[in-house]
């Protein structure tokens, strides 16, 4: 293979050796995967979504199988901000020396700000990824991310308390994803991550009950890939800031397709749960596929379609 192949990409001034990032919630804080392979081969890691308070998550069952993917309603289970900053991040930083992506969630603007401030002062964190797919408890419980105004408000508030790049992770459960992405950019976002899970539901026909205790959950896996590619392409046309694309990616071919649609980097989610070596495999296969497709520099194909 020629030495000409360059898999590196740059997100807001941060250079990644390759665009492959495990998605938040599918990689924990890296410990389990570190027993399988060297985490330093990854572009970065988006670690488990962090909230101010520790959370046990939703009632079980909270995972359901479906064709071409899975449903989950885990409910942001995590040890809470203090424990994540004091214990989890330093432990992960020992296993992976790359700038990390801190995924934060909140149920009010103040909670997002509290999490962002803490991540701002945590050295191993390179990018703050703001998950706006959370219910706004103070405004009737609808998800922040379904409203352009609320998403922009969170973006502004988080940007005001950190000097690190802020990427807003958008929910796909909206009519017009591009207008919400544009609102984020106008409010100062450095980048956009998309898509989060699609809302889905399964029913156990023998028990005549929903399979998930929470009735509905997030649908992820290969089934949502075409939706994710479409949304990344739409957002790419609407904004000038970088995009981290995700949603059903499970092969090197998928990575190239997502990047051609407009993603500068990608996150691998549900596939980690099916095959814990998937990120490593894709990283190894990317240069071979690039050579086959005549791509010398991976960053050249971003948004070419």
- Residue indicated by tokens 């945590």: 122
| pLDDT band, residue 43 (cuts 50/70/90) | very high
> In the chain, pLDDT over 70 holds for what percent of residues?
99
Residue predicted with more confidence, 235 or 3: 235
| pLDDT band, residue 10 (cuts 50/70/90) | very high
| pLDDT band, residue 262 (cuts 50/70/90) | very high
Averaged pLDDT for residues 134-148: 83
Residue-level pLDDT at 3: 67
Residue-level pLDDT at 261: 98
Residue 1: is its pLDDT beyond 70?
no
Question: Hey, what domains does the chain have and what are their CATH numbers?
Answer: 9-57+75-200+219-301 (3.20.20.70)
Averaged pLDDT for residues 9-15: 98
Averaged pLDDT for residues 202-229: 96
Residue-level pLDDT at 138: 78
68: its two tokens = 């071409």
* 96 part of the active site: no
Residue 231: is its pLDDT beyond 90?
yes
Find all residues with CB under 8 Å of 15, minimum gap 6, and list them.
8, 9
User: Assign residue 130 a region: left if phi > 0, alpha if psi is -120 to 50, beta otherwise?
Assistant: beta
Residue 96: is its pLDDT beyond 90?
yes
Q: Dump pLDDT digits (tens) for 153-206.
A: 999 999 999 999 999 999 999 999 999 999 999 999 999 999 999 999 999 999
Residue 193: count other Cβ atoms within 10 Å of its Cβ.
Answer: 28
Residue-level pLDDT at 139: 74
Residue predicted with more confidence, 290 or 140: 290
Residue-level pLDDT at 142: 80
Averaged pLDDT for residues 291-303: 98
| pLDDT band, residue 25 (cuts 50/70/90) | very high
The catalytically annotated residue of 96, 115, 134, 184 is 134
Q: Dump pLDDT digits (tens) for 49-81.
A: 999 999 999 999 999 999 999 999 999 999 999
Mean pLDDT score of the chain, rounded to an integer? 96
Averaged pLDDT for residues 254-260: 98
pTM: 0.97
Residue-level pLDDT at 18: 98
Give the span between the Cα atoms of 57 and 71, in whole angstroms.
15
Residue-level pLDDT at 135: 76
Residue 2: is its pLDDT beyond 90?
no
């Amino acid at each position: 293979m020629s030495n000409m192949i360059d898999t590196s990409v740059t997100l807001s001034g941060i250079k990644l050796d390759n665009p492959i990032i495990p998605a938040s919630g599918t990689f924990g804080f890296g410990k389990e995967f570190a027993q399988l392979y060297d985490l330093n081969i990854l572009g970065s890691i988006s670690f488990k979504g962090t909230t101010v308070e520790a959370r046990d998550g939703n009632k079980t069952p909270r995972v359901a199988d479906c064709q071409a993917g899975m449903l989950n309603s885990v409910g942001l289970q995590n040890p809470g901000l203090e424990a994540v900053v004091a214990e989890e991040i330093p432990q992960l930083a020992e296993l992976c020396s790359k700038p990390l992506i801190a995924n934060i969630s909140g149920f009010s603007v103040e909670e997002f700000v509290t999490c962002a401030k803490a991540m701002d002062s945590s050295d191993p964190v390179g990018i703050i990824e703001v998950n706006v797919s959370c219910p706004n408890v103070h405004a009737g419980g609808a998800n922040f991310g379904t409203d352009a105004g609320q998403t922009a408000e969170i973006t502004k508030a988080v940007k005001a308390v950190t000097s690190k790049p802020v990427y807003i992770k958008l929910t796909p459960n909206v009519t017009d994803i591009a207008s919400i992405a544009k609102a984020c950019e106008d409010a100062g976002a450095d980048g956009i991550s998309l898509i989060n899970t699609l809302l889905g539901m399964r029913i156990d026909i023998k028990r005549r009950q929903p399979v998930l205790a929470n009735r509905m959950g997030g649908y992820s896996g290969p089934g949502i890939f075409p939706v994710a590619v479409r949304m990344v392409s739409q957002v790419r046309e609407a904004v000038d800031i970088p995009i981290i694309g995700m949603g059903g990616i499970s092969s090197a071919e998928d990575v190239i397709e997502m990047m051609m649609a407009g993603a500068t980097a990608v996150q691998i989610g549900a596939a980690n749960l099916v095959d814990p070596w998937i990120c490593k495999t894709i990283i190894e296969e990317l240069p071979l596929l690039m050579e086959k497709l005549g791509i010398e520099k991976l960053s050249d194909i971003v948004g070419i379609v």
